[in-house]
Amino acid sequence: MKIELPVERFAGIRTPFYYYDTNILRQTLDAINTETQKHDNYFVHYAVKANANLKVLHIIREAGLGIDCVSGGEIEQVLKAGFSASKIVFAGVGKSDWEIELGLDKDIFCFNVESIPELEVINEIAARKGKVATICFRINPDVGAHTHAHITTGLAENKFGIAMEDMEKVIHLAQDMKNVQFKGLHFHIGSQILEMDDFIALAHRINELQDRLEAQGIQLEIINVGGGLGIDYEDPQANPIPNFKDYFAVYAEHLKVRPRQTVHFELGRAVVAQCGALITKVNYVKQASVKQFAIVDAGFTDLIRPALYGAHHRIVNLNSQASEEKYDVVGPICESSDTFDKDILLPKTHRGDLLAILSAGAYGEIMASCYNCRPLPQGYTSEELD
């Protein structure tokens, strides 16, 4: 299986644009379903923050996944894409009242609650509406993840979730409220995690917490382990499908699941990253004193990950097979951070060549901005261009 980049079909499309190889997306979803179908209590909620393109969402919905939302806008978008509200989990440290109201009006599956003040507000709004909100508490498990500091979330110092020592207190508070129903615990330790040991550490921590709660007569129906499985940014063509086998096996082996309990996963990046590429045109090749620049028409407004996280995406030239030279691939925005990569080898590159910036399906199109009044990039699927 290879990521297809059919350059002949890109002619006439305004660059930069996102291209989604739906074969890769479907194979990825099949790989997920193959693993989760081994367990009748595993449910994957796609983290729509990674990519909310409607065409991509339709394919994910067809594969039967649920959804993880972090805003009212995401809830609206996934409902538009035809997802059932009964499969939506809603997380986020700072839910606004209108977002809570929307979740209640639509009868979403579960609110992942991150603080006592939020719990009180959900209870109050639900009471006003004569509803009972299903809730899980997001617990900060103080488990570090071997990933970028900006995307690790499970340490005590992070703003996310409720501290483990407060767990019983918040559960008792919820149990005394009339308009919330406490169902379980939610966790998330970070993103782009490739070390299975990090997920093993989380599973062990959940076991400890669960034992502690059971000793006090508190049962959990839902365990939500969050997302975070990483992908191969260095060699996407060699590994277009993430290692779901090992990922789900970690939880099957290490998480002690009780009878009738359901286990929920919130995978984002691993679902959509490899199917997407940002296609950009080389506007100029500039020879400077110590560098050669390929100046492309995409900027950090189209793909911010390299500028924001120092993230690395493989770049390929779709038009040239000439012998390789060294380039810095940079965008047109007047900021030095508008650089996709430095000193990389590309076949000799010319004005008009199309470059593909790979592994850009997750946190690419969705994080685009209009800085410099630049138009937002469009996204096309391979099926549309057939």
**Interface residues with ligand LLP (CB under 6 A)?**
47, 50, 68, 91, 151, 153, 188, 191-192, 226-229, 266-270, 305, 309, 363
Please tell me the distance from the alpha carbon of residue 256 to that of residue 251, in angstroms, as a whole number: 8
In the complex, the smallest distance separating the C-beta of residue 309 from ligand LLP, rounded to whole angstroms, is: 6
Which residues contact residue 238 at a Cβ distance below 8 angstroms, ignoring those fewer than 6 apart? Answer: 232
In the complex, the smallest distance separating the C-beta of residue 305 from ligand LLP, rounded to whole angstroms, is: 5
Tokens of 18: 């996102």
With CA atoms as reference, report the closest residue to 37 among 261, 260, 252, 199.
Answer: 252
Estimate the crossing angle of helix 72-80 against helix 97-105, to 10 degrees: 30
Select 61 or 317, whichever has its Cβ closest to ligand LLP: 61
The CB-side HSE value for 335 (13 A sphere, CA atoms) comes to 13
Select 307 or 346, whichever has its Cβ closest to ligand LLP: 307
In the complex, the smallest distance separating the C-beta of residue 313 from ligand LLP, rounded to whole angstroms, is: 10
Select 277 or 282, whichever has its Cβ closest to ligand LLP: 277
Select 15 or 51, whichever has its Cβ closest to ligand LLP: 51
The region that residue 376 occupies, defined by phi over 0 for left and psi between -120 and 50 for alpha, beta otherwise, is beta
Select 191 or 301, whichever has its Cβ closest to ligand LLP: 191
In the complex, the smallest distance separating the C-beta of residue 153 from ligand LLP, rounded to whole angstroms, is: 6
In the complex, the smallest distance separating the C-beta of residue 216 from ligand LLP, rounded to whole angstroms, is: 26
In the complex, the smallest distance separating the C-beta of residue 235 from ligand LLP, rounded to whole angstroms, is: 18
Query: Which regions of 25-93 does DSSP assign to beta strands (E)?
Result: 42-47, 66-69, 88-90
In the complex, the smallest distance separating the C-beta of residue 226 from ligand LLP, rounded to whole angstroms, is: 4
Q: Could you give the C-alpha distances from 108 to 116, 334, 361, in angstroms and in order?
A: 20, 44, 26
Select 67 or 282, whichever has its Cβ closest to ligand LLP: 67
Select 104 or 270, whichever has its Cβ closest to ligand LLP: 270
With CA atoms as reference, report the closest residue to 66 among 360, 271, 366.
Answer: 271
Estimate the crossing angle of helix 196-214 against helix 244-254, to 10 degrees: 30
Please tell me the distance from the alpha carbon of residue 59 to that of residue 82, in angstroms, as a whole number: 11
